[in-house]
Structure 1
Amino acid sequence: MKTALKVTLGLVAALALIAPASAQTYKPEYKISTVVGAPFPWGLMAERWATIVKDKSGGKINMKVYPGASLVGGDQTKEFTAMRQGVIDMAVGSTINWSPQVAELNLFSLPFLMPDHKAIDAITQGPAGKKIFEIIGSKDVVPLAWGENGFREISNSKRDVKKPEDLKGLKIRVVGSPLYNETFTALGANPTQMSWADAQPALSTGAVDGQENPLTIFTVAKLHTVGQKHVTLWGYVADPLIFAVSKPVWDTFSPADQQILREAAVDAAKYGVEIARKGITAADPSVLKEIEGLGVTITRLTPEEQKAFQAATKPVYDKWKARIGADLVTQAEKSVAAR
């Protein structure tokens, strides 16, 4: 009997050691926060991430997209903080919306830093992008991949914008960032900060005259129906997106699951970049033609006209370069120049 008892106790002890290593507890659902959902490219890439992860995990990791920044009461600038606290499991987040908590992300909002898509890639895939991921990783958020929301072009209901003077007095909806306020103030406009959920009604009623967003937002949201009849292609800033997981949540996954999440994010990000750029390039201007077909005038700036906007915003650029970190911005500038 003593021998049998020893054997039994030994087996219990062995099972106790084995169980924690083999058991994996999953939530019934992991929440992904986004500002906009499908059919916007932003939402589509988040859904693609969830689909790939569910498939590769054999249905063990179920992720659901919550658009409209609904997990933070619609205040998109609180998303990063909620992730740090583990309130939000995952996000495909905007560099603009996270910049209040991660000052270095203001890099992408420096006016006219990135003249083309190759410049965006040179920064996100280069030393500056790597450094930014290290900074985010030190704040209890695990960044996995760079997606894209696209260049932010300006539209309004009043007139064509070809020079800074054309913006004088126009009420322009901007995101909740002081850098955007200062940029549009320097151009003579009247910037008004509000969430995207509030922006469309404000455009409809004329409470604001215009807005700045990627053209994919313009087409899907049908902004031509709320008076936006004048679009200027100036590519003054771009908005890379970041696939990320809250570190408290990340730490609950096994290394194998973490690899699934990371690889799926990379795949979904590539898909997102592709659809964000579709139809707005010289090789494929289909979206631009679609917008013009809606009775919207598209203004394409000459190099000289664009330089006038750059000159008007240079004091803002220089001021924020120091705030963001001169070394980081210089590195980004070098990557752009070498592209």
Structure 2
Amino acid sequence: MQFFKTVIAAVATLAATAAVAQEYKEEYRVSTVVPAPFPWGIAAEKWAELTAERSEGRINLKIYPGVQLVQGDQTREFTAMRQGVIDMAVGSTINWSPQITELNLFSMPFLMPDYAALDALTQGPVGERIFEIVQAKGAVPLAWAENGFREVTNSKTPIRTPADLEGLKLRVVGSPIFSDMFSAMGANPTQMSWADAQPALTTGAVDGQENPLTIYSVLNMHELGQTNVTLWHYVADPLIFAVNQQVWDSFTSEDQEILRQAAIDAGAIGIEIARKGLTDGDQSLIEDIRGKGVEVITLTDAERQAFVDATRPVYDAWKEKIGADLVDLAEQSIANR
């Protein structure tokens, strides 16, 4: 009798597993902005690899870089995921900020001076609060990755003071806080997608841009005339692994945990790659860029403070928009790092 009970239980388990497998899609579409060899793309690909391996093929993620699932419009990615047009994404907090105002926290000018400050936010109570907000908006956040600190480059002049930005036409992402910041520093900010930015830099239609140095390096931006780089760490761009709520609910609890842990592990790999060559102990990427004839400026504390002062009205105005309580928590987390 016990033998038959065991057989019946095994058959029931197999049937349940088969039913779940039949409900799963053959492919889950994952949106991201850039592919490998960018750290962002590597993190997304690693997520797909680990998920397929650990789920024994039950969950297959296909990466669609270039935000091609939303016709290249980075700022539409979160809405498309929430609506189910996209199943999952490894998305930028900057690109999702038009739909989730609180994500502008990471774009507050000169809030985070270093990686320890960034980690204090994403790995602490601020990160937990951000994930609660993202989930309330219709997507399930799983883990953090990183695009990195954004630095300013241009083809005209070295930038050491706000006065050096005066009149420079700079490409910025489509988030209002960026236009506010660069206008406050005297520049002429122009919002455009990255697909439009590259030819604009080539022709000189815009003078410069701001992006992490990993983006600069992989794209060989020195060949686009971007021969002046200023390291100022004015904002950072954390990435979030997230899943559409309905897709998430379709998975078993076991597979949810597999997907989450795969994202955590892939995010850790992505962060390590995003910081390689850019830390106090290893500046090899910076030296490689200098070796291409690029002037790379690291601001002194006094020079950086001048930019902090110039953008303080923007900081104060956006603190109210984002939520003073959240910004206060971020400031406290950074102070206690």
Q: Same fold (TM over 0.5)?
A: yes
Where structure 1 has 5 or more consecutive residues not aligned to the other structure, the ranges are 1-14
Match of 1:89 among 77, 87, 90: 87
Partner of 1:208: 206
- Separation (CA, whole Å) in 2 of partners of 1:217 and 1:74: 17
Partner of 1:338: 336
Secondary structure of the residue aligned to 2:198 is: helix
Partner of 1:101: 99
Partner of 2:221: 223
- Separation (CA, whole Å) in 2 of partners of 1:300 and 1:130: 32
Give the TM-score normalised by structure 1.
0.94
Partner of 2:275: 277
Q: Does 1:113 align with 2:108?
A: no
Q: Does 1:312 align with 2:331?
A: no
CA deviation profile, 1:221-244 (whole Å, cap 9, x unmatched): 110110000000000000000001
Q: Which runs of 4+ in 1 moved over 4 A?
A: 15-22
Alpha-carbon distance, 1:215 to partner = 0.2
Match of 2:264 among 253, 261, 266: 266
Task: Return closer, same or farther for 1:290/1:23 CA change in 2, 3 Å cut-off.
Answer: same
Partner of 2:50: 52
- Separation (CA, whole Å) in 2 of partners of 1:226 and 1:140: 39
CA deviation profile, 1:120-174 (whole Å, cap 9, x unmatched): 0001111111111001111110000011100000000001000000000000000
Match of 2:156 among 142, 147, 158: 158
- Separation (CA, whole Å) in 1 of partners of 2:249 and 2:283: 44
State the identity as a percent. Answer: 64
Greater gyration radius: 1
Alpha-carbon distance, 1:277 to partner = 0.4
- Separation (CA, whole Å) in 2 of partners of 1:139 and 1:154: 32
CA deviation profile, 1:232-266 (whole Å, cap 9, x unmatched): 00000000000011111111111011000000000
Match of 1:244 among 242, 245, 252: 242
Task: Return closer, same or farther for 1:16/1:41 CA change in 2, 3 Å cut-off.
Answer: closer
Task: Return closer, same or farther for 1:16/1:55 CA change in 2, 3 Å cut-off.
Answer: closer
* Alignment size in residue pairs: 325
CA deviation profile, 1:265-323 (whole Å, cap 9, x unmatched): 00000001100000011210000010001110001100000000000000000000000
Where structure 2 has 5 or more consecutive residues not aligned to the other structure, the ranges are 1-10
Secondary structure of the residue aligned to 2:247 is: helix
- Separation (CA, whole Å) in 2 of partners of 1:224 and 1:337: 36
Task: Return closer, same or farther for 1:17/1:275 CA change in 2, 3 Å cut-off.
Answer: closer
Secondary structure of the residue aligned to 1:149 is: strand
Partner of 1:180: 178
Secondary structure of the residue aligned to 2:116 is: helix
